[in-house]
Each structure stands twice: as C-alpha cells, then as structure tokens.
Structure 1
Amino acid sequence: MSRDGDSPAPAEHDAERMAVALYEARRKRVPIAPLTDTCPTLDAVGGYAVQRRLTDLLIADGERVVGYKAGLTSAPMQAMFGVHAPDYGPVFASTVHPDGTRFARGEFISPKVEAEIVFRLAGPLTGPGVTVEQAHAAIGEVIAGLEIVDSRITDWRIRLGDTIADLASNGAAVLGRPVPARANLDYRLMRMAFRRNGELVASGRGTDALGDPVAVVALLANLLGESGVTLEAGQLVMTGALHAAIPMIPGDRYDAEFDHLGTVTLRVANA
C-alpha cells in the first residue's frame, strides 16, 4: 500500500516482471533498459516492492542477507545520479570479501569503486523511533570498507526507482580489519584518503555520509522498521560513499586509508 501523496506501487505482476528482469540481468551480466522507461511512475515505494521480490528470488537461490547498505548518502553521489534522497538495499553473504581481494572486471557489468565506513552491530535495532544515540550504542565494530557498486541498468541511466529496485546498485564489498567501537570516537570527523594505483583521487570524512555515519544506521533501522524488519546483532551496515564513485578498470589497485581504521585494498585483474 502506498502512503498518502506517493504514487502507487507497481501492480504485483509488474513487480514480479521487473524483479525477474533484474534477476536475469544480474545472472547473465547483461544490462537492461531502465525500468522507469516503461513505468515512469516507478518511485521509491514501487522500487522497494521490486527489491523485495528480487531479494526473495536470490534467497531462494541460497543467498543470505548479512546486513544492509545505504546508498546516495553523500552530495557527490546524489549529484552524480540526479537524485536527492538516500536509498538502501540488502547485503548478501556472497558479495562480502576480505581485504586484498582480486576481482575480474567481467564479474560485473559497469562497476565503480567507492570508500565508506562500515559498522557491525553488537545489538539489534528495531525502528521506527531509533535515535542516533541508540544506534551508536548498538555498534560493536567499525571497519574500513570498499564497495563495488554495479548497475544492471544500461549505462547507469537510473532514476531513484531503478536503483532501489536494483538492490541499491549492490555489487560487492571488501572489508578491512574490524576495530572495536569506541564510545568517545566521533565518526563524523573520521578522514579518508582514496587512491588508485597509489595516486590520491578522492578524499572525504564521516560527515559526507548524511552528516553522520551513525545517523545512517539510525535511518536504516527506522526505514526497515516500517516494513517490520530489524537490524540484527552481527549484521553489517554500510553507511554510504564518502566521495563520488570511481570507475573500476582492469589492472588497477584501489586503496582507502581511514583514520583509526587503517587501509583496505582491492585489486582488479588485467583481463
């Protein structure tokens, strides 16, 4: 059911059709035209209806949700894709990789790399009504993260409904060494330097994630709570890019160095 003032969610058969199209694009690594080309009214509500069905299809294949990612939390990322609000999607176990992982470019369709602060929860958070203070208290570990965002939509021609339906453009994540959370650490001030092949190409700090990465955790808990979903202890929360995403190129190495967290690296094979 849509909220007052929202466009109606796509009819059940349309959501199914869109989810299957994205599922096949993900499986075959062949992009499809924007869903909003044929359904211009597909908004956030409709996008999440498609996302839920796509998630069900992937879980039926054996996938397991190990957390959630927030996307489009920084001004550069919102500007890059012409949207003005964050989105979110599930993180699947098969997409989480250790520091130093080497990927083949062909594992993705149109990948880009971005650096972000990742939290692992020590306790559950059930919205709505979760505060930033409650979110801070629930964080057990902090992790330097690199996310590979990928779009099953041709040439990243996405509107908000497209990227939400497409699992918030989920591709893969590479995580560094977990560091225990500290009550006196202000994650808003955490600085990050992003390098490609050793050259500094972007920088950011915690405030670039919606003003406060812990606020992203509270936001996710509250948005998920509207659908009856709890952020569980042990789950990851990826809080969003601290800079504009960088295209992933064969042969390149990407490093993100964070205050207090150290450096996380991913590599791309030459072919």
Structure 2
Amino acid sequence: MTPTDAGLRKAALALCATFFFANPANAECPDDSAIDAFMAARAQAAPTPAPVAAGGSMEDALCAQDKIVQRLSKDLGPVAGYKAGLTSPKAQEAFGVSEPVFGTMLRDMFLQDGATVSASEAGRPLFEADLIVEIADPAVNDATTPEEVLRTISGVRPFIELPALVVAKENKLDGPAITSINVGAWKGVMGNVIAIPQGDVGTEMMANFNAKLTDSATGEVLSEAPGKAVLGNPLNAVIWVAAKLKEQGKSLKPGDYVSVGSIGPLHPMKPGMSITLTYEGLPGDPKIGATFE
C-alpha cells in the first residue's frame, strides 16, 4: 500500500467513525417492525420487552417513543400534553436515574371524573395520585421558579394517572427503557380546573397540599403524600418538562397539560376497586374518583 493509499484509507475510516458516533440514535433507534410488534402486544395487553432495553441510550429511547406516539395518535388523537415520570428520589433510585423521565400524552387518554376502567385492557396497569397543570401562556417556557410558573397557568386539575408498564416483570426497566414505552402513558381520570393564588401563597400551597388516595368503599387510606414530594414543588415539574421540550426543538403551548408525576407510591389496579383522590389544602379540597373492573 502506497503512502497515498494509506492516507486515503485513514481519512475514510475517520470519516466513517465521525458519522457513526455523531449519529448513534440513527443507528440504534428501533426499526418500524420492532415498534409494530411492541404495539401489537400492547394492544393485546400481552407482556413484551421494551423497544429499547435497559442499558440503552436515551436518544434511542426518545426515538422509539416518537414512533409509538405517532401510532397511538391514530386512535387517541393529537398530543394534548406531556408527563414527567420518576419525579421522587425513591422512584429515581429504584430505576437508577438521576432526573425524571419524559413522556407524551394524547387527547383521548384523558377520562372524566368517575370513569370506569377495565384493568384487563392493559399489561400491568397501575394507579397513582398525580396532578395536571394547565398552561395558559407560552412564557412558561422561560420560567425558572414555581412563582414564575404560576403566572403562566390557568390552574391545576385533579388527576389520577393510570399508567401501564406493559413490559414483562422479568424485563428490567431503567430510564431509557421506561422512556421508550412512553413512560407507561395509558389513561388518566381528570377533574375540573382549579385556580391557584399567585405569589408566595400559591407556591406554598402547591408544596404543602396533601394528596390522599382512599378506598371509596371502606374509607381506608391507601397512601398520602405532600405536593413537595414532586421535585420540592409540583410546579418544578413544569420547568423540567419545558426544558426537555426545548432540547427537542418544541415548547409548551396554551391549553397543554403537564402531568407532574407520582405524588406518593404506585398501586396495582384491582378489578372491583373504587378509589377517591382528595387534595387537602388546595382551594375547596377537591376530589375525584375512578372505578376498576
């Protein structure tokens, strides 16, 4: 091999390496057939591996999520908002992450207060105390404090999220894996909008209210936790979601919903159970309920 040939070969290899390492998501994002197989299993509530296995990259996971959302939107309508998952220290520790994970929510995932939901329609269905923040002003995308977020929202809505993990129990879920299944977004029961006072009064209210889940039939308290269990204040979840959207070249718009994440533990959904979620300390101590069959 001549010196000229050797130089050309070295330059070609360097170019190939540069392309490969600059585009890992393009090389590793699950192909359409893999997403189709996942969606078929999801529709049948059959256990299935995540499109991106534990240990994969977050770029590949978000690529898989985009493909899943595109397919879901054919039946569930357009994007209506976004969700932050793993927003508590315990949840992050359990899944081996140092920050929340990002998911997308579609219009017809949201159900009315008192809805009846069939547990058999999803793989590993769960329920949790959550909260929706409704966006009113695009200035929210530049907010850096809970008080600034308060100035840009219509209010908050009671929300019982009903995620479905889908993945078989023997398959590990870490940050990328759970992101690739759209953070388990399946359904949720949402209440009416509640106005929150501005300034310190409102920010303290959001940090200190108590989200209490009870068994509607027996009154047994299933779990309760303060708002500050979510990143110190649930409004911080809005700041985090806005930052993640900016990374994707997107932004929050008026009318968008942001699900702030679990306010307390996840619970398995059991047929025959009715639950009530009460927000002690928010204006009017609002509550919503759901029944599982």
Q: TM-score with structure 1 length normalisation?
A: 0.88
What percentage of residue pairs aligned between the two structures are identical?
A: 23
Aligned mate of 2:160, from 118, 128, 146: 146
Question: Is 1:76 the equivalent of 2:90?
Answer: yes
Query: Deviation string for 1:173-201 (max 9, x for gaps)?
Result: 11122212321312111111111342112
- Is the 1:251–1:268 contact (alpha carbons within 8 Å) kept by the matching residues of 2? yes
Query: Deviation string for 1:34-83 (max 9, x for gaps)?
Result: 4455xx54122221111112112223456211111111001233344444
Secondary structure class of the residue paired with 1:180: coil
Aligned mate of 2:144, from 113, 131, 136: 131
Aligned partner letter, 2:270: I
Over 3 Å counting, the alpha-carbon distance change for 1:253 and 1:76 in structure 2 is farther
Structure 1 unaligned spans of 5+: none
Secondary structure class of the residue paired with 2:30: helix
Residue of structure 2 equivalent to 1:267: 291
- Is the 1:71–1:88 contact (alpha carbons within 8 Å) kept by the matching residues of 2? yes
Aligned counterparts of 1:170 and 1:6: Cα–Cα separation in 2:
30
Aligned mate of 2:106, from 92, 103, 106: 92
Aligned mate of 1:175, from 190, 214, 236: 190
- Is the 2:49–2:168 contact (alpha carbons within 8 Å) kept by the matching residues of 1? yes
**Larger % of helix: which?**
2
Deviates more, 1:53-62 or 1:109-118: 53-62
Secondary structure class of the residue paired with 1:68: strand
Residue of structure 2 equivalent to 1:240: 261
Over 3 Å counting, the alpha-carbon distance change for 1:111 and 1:81 in structure 2 is farther
Aligned counterparts of 1:253 and 1:137: Cα–Cα separation in 2:
35
Secondary structure class of the residue paired with 2:211: strand
Residue of structure 1 equivalent to 2:213: 194
Secondary structure class of the residue paired with 2:138: coil
Structure 2 unaligned spans of 5+: 1-20
Aligned partner letter, 1:33: P
Question: Is 1:53 the equivalent of 2:77?
Answer: no
Aligned mate of 1:14, from 30, 51, 61: 30
Aligned partner letter, 2:246: G
Aligned partner letter, 2:172: R
Query: Deviation string for 1:79-107 (max 9, x for gaps)?
Result: 44444321111111111001110111112
Question: Is 1:29 the equivalent of 2:45?
Answer: yes
Aligned counterparts of 1:81 and 1:255: Cα–Cα separation in 2:
28
- Is the 1:145–1:175 contact (alpha carbons within 8 Å) kept by the matching residues of 2? yes
Residue of structure 2 equivalent to 1:209: 230
Secondary structure class of the residue paired with 1:90: strand
Deviates more, 1:109-118 or 1:76-85: 76-85
Secondary structure class of the residue paired with 2:81: strand
Aligned counterparts of 2:157 and 2:75: Cα–Cα separation in 1:
28
Q: Which structure 2 residues correspond to residues 150-161 of structure 1 after superposition, within 5 A? A: 150-155=164-169, 157-161=172-176
Aligned partner letter, 1:262: P
- TM-superposed CA distance for 1:218, in Å, is 0.9
Q: TM-score with structure 2 length normalisation?
A: 0.82
- Is the 1:126–1:225 contact (alpha carbons within 8 Å) kept by the matching residues of 2? no
Question: Please, what is the CA RMSD of the aligned residues?
Answer: 2.3
Aligned mate of 1:185, from 202, 205, 213: 202
Residue of structure 2 equivalent to 1:162: 177
